[in-house]
Structure 1
Amino acid sequence: MNESAVFSKNVIDVIQERRTVKKFKTDPVPVETITRLLDVAAWAPNHKLREPWRFLLFTGEGRQKLADAVAADLGEDNKFASTLLHNPVSLIVVMKEDPRQAIWDEDFAAVSALIQNFMLAAWSEGIGTFWMTKPFFYSPVFREQLGIKPGEKIVGLVYAGYPEVVPKAQQRTSAAEKLTVFDR
């Protein structure tokens, strides 16, 4: 880990200091830690407390199951599968899809907020994350390998682990440049 990285529990600091981490140490992250962070993340706002999420966690030798599911779709010769085996934790977040568009939208926002909460909670404890989406999430072969049923959406795959490299901050556009104020 970059020794100059400072991890804070102040929410504003955590939001501004969090980075997308793509290089992790090989040290495992205990399942209990991930479970505790998911319990914190579940405080995301979700309409009528529907809690429309579930999780698939791949650690240790279990990472091979995820790599095999990717290989079943992309073929054995793909570098993505080897990445999965190198990262200490891979977490797939799945949303139960409601056929009513307004509820689907609310649930998707809730699951996205949960993922962000997870990433912020992890960062506050010195654990880096990387949230991604991939075309193979829609593959029937990949989904069947992992027991993802029709009517479920993979909202993201989150890598997690202790950072080997913490990237520098990227500049953000000021909210004032994107803000329209109606005050009359």
Structure 2
Amino acid sequence: MNESAVFATNVIDVIQERRTVKKFKADPVPVETLTRLLDIAVWAPNHKLREPWRFLLFTGDGRQKLADAVTAELGEDNKFAAAIMNVPVELIIVMKEDPRQAIWDEDFAAVSALVQNFMLAAWSEGIGTFWVTKPFLYSPVFREQLGILPGEKIVGMVYAGYPEVVPKAQQRTPAADKLTVFD
């Protein structure tokens, strides 16, 4: 078997075996590991290598800053701030917004591919992830607390850590059921 075939099988396995993890062990994930995974993730396809992303990483005591930003928007009695403190890592992925729709769309697709790359790379090293999009991510109060500027979009927040529980696979609709072929 040639080397590229072995690699392709590994990628396929990681894609099919990855799960959304919502329960994490308390064990910290080293910043060096997360940085290395981001260095892998940035190989996402992106038109003209615009690299329209930046990252905010919250670990250890730094998670409190994120919890405080959520509390500033939602008030003291909210479940999200508590959840943040119970997850080892939160990563916010921010996209520079271009006013030209076609470029905005290309950049959003690139950043989404980057998030998927990060999640797959993390899974290949035993780190679970959960891509979160919540209404508070759009809040001016929340954004200001974290230095998210006008002209930037939060594409998502990724919870990460070593899985406490790995969910069972959910059935997927075969692509053939949603495929139109023109020949």
Shorter-chain TM-score bucket reads over 0.9
The Cα shift of 1:48 comes to 0.2
Residue 40 of structure 1: aligned partner:
40
> 1:100-144 CA deviation, whole Å, 9 max, x = no partner?
000000000000000000000000000000001011111110000
Unaligned 5+ residue runs, structure 2?
1-8
SS at match of 1:10: helix
Residue identity opposite 1:59 in structure 2: T
Counterpart of 1:25 in 2: which secondary structure?
coil
Other-structure match for 1:50: 50
Alignment of 1:20-39 (within 5 A): 20-39=20-39
Counterparts of 1:89 and 1:136, CA distance in 2? 18
1:93 and 1:35 mapped to 2: Cα distance? Answer: 13
Matches for 1:95-174 after TM superposition, within 5 Å: 95-174=95-174
Q: Kindly provide the amino acid, as one letter, of the partner of residue 119 in structure 2.
A: M
Shift in Å at residue 87 of structure 1? 0.1
- Name the structure 1 match of 2:81: 81
Once residues 139 and 126 of structure 1 are traced to their aligned partners in structure 2, the CA distance between those partners, rounded to angstroms, is 33
SS at match of 1:129: strand
Q: Distance in 2 between matches of 1:18 and 1:11?
A: 11
Identical counterparts, % of pairs: 87
Secondary structure of the 2:110 match is: helix
> Which residues of structure 1 form unaligned runs of 5+?
1-8
Alignment RMSD, CA only? Answer: 0.7
Match of 2:12 in 1: 12
Question: TM-score of the superposition, structure 1-length normalised?
Answer: 0.94
